[in-house]
Structure 1
Amino acid sequence: MQIRVNTDNHIEGSNRMENYFDNVIQEKLKRFEERITNLEVYLADENSSDKKGTDDKRCTIEAHITGIKPLAVTNHADTVEKSVLGAVTKMKALLEHTFDKIKTH
């Protein structure tokens, strides 16, 4: 499973940050790694770094899976880390639901 982290111009992307999020995402989605070809992670600060706001950090994760259309989730939080953790949790639930649905049909 290949993971690509993309940031907007208001969030500084670093190798350390990417490695941390890669590890977190791989750990949470480990049981699906054979079915997911790649994950696109998009991080954004909706209010920019000049303005402060609640839940203004957004993480969208798009999973590309062999044989079905891509799945996507979005989570908002007050920090980038929380937005990623929330999005990964949502993606895990969506993948479980999707693969359970495929099994029953």
Structure 2
Amino acid sequence: MKIQINGDHTIVVDTGLKDFVEHEVSRLLDRFAMRLTRVEVHLSDIDNKKTGTADKRCLVEVRPAGSRPLTVSARSANLPYAVDEALRKMQRSLTTFFGRRRSPAVSSLSMHK
């Protein structure tokens, strides 16, 4: 699973931020690692460094092998919370996504027998 981290023009992705995001991605999405080809994390400051509530945004896009990309996002007053919230949303989405692919749909005909 390749992890790619991008920041907008207001967020510098330095070594500390990169290490933090990679650690969080591994911690929360590791159980899906064999089924994902890439995880992209996009970080942005919505109102260009002005202070305010929920002005940091984290968008996470994952690419399951052989399937369409899945995307979630979260906003928070600070970047670590936005990253954590977005990755937790993705964790739930992937649990649902892979759970549905593993279980075949129940035929309506078999229910009436």
TM-score normalised per structure 2: 0.89
For residues 36-90 of structure 1, the C-alpha deviation after alignment (integer angstroms, 9 at most, x for no partner) is: 11111000000011x2110010000000111110000000000010000000000
Residue 3 of structure 1 aligns to a residue whose secondary structure is: strand
Greater radius of gyration (CA): 2
Whether 2:82 is the aligned partner of 1:61: answer no
Between the aligned partners of 1:2 and 1:85, the Cα distance in structure 2 is: 19
Whether 2:73 is the aligned partner of 1:74: answer yes
CA apart distance, 1:24: 1.1
User: 1:3 is matched with which residue?
Assistant: 3
Letter in 1 for 2:89: K
Moved over 4 A (4+): none
User: 2:34 is matched with which residue?
Assistant: 34
Instruction: Give the CA RMSD over aligned residues.
Output: 0.7
Letter in 2 for 1:93: R
Percent identity, please: 31
Between the aligned partners of 1:52 and 1:73, the Cα distance in structure 2 is: 24
User: 1:98 is matched with which residue?
Assistant: 97
Between the aligned partners of 2:30 and 2:42, the Cα distance in structure 1 is: 20
CA apart distance, 1:19: 1.1
Between the aligned partners of 1:65 and 1:102, the Cα distance in structure 2 is: 12
Between the aligned partners of 1:18 and 1:77, the Cα distance in structure 2 is: 18
CA apart distance, 1:35: 0.3
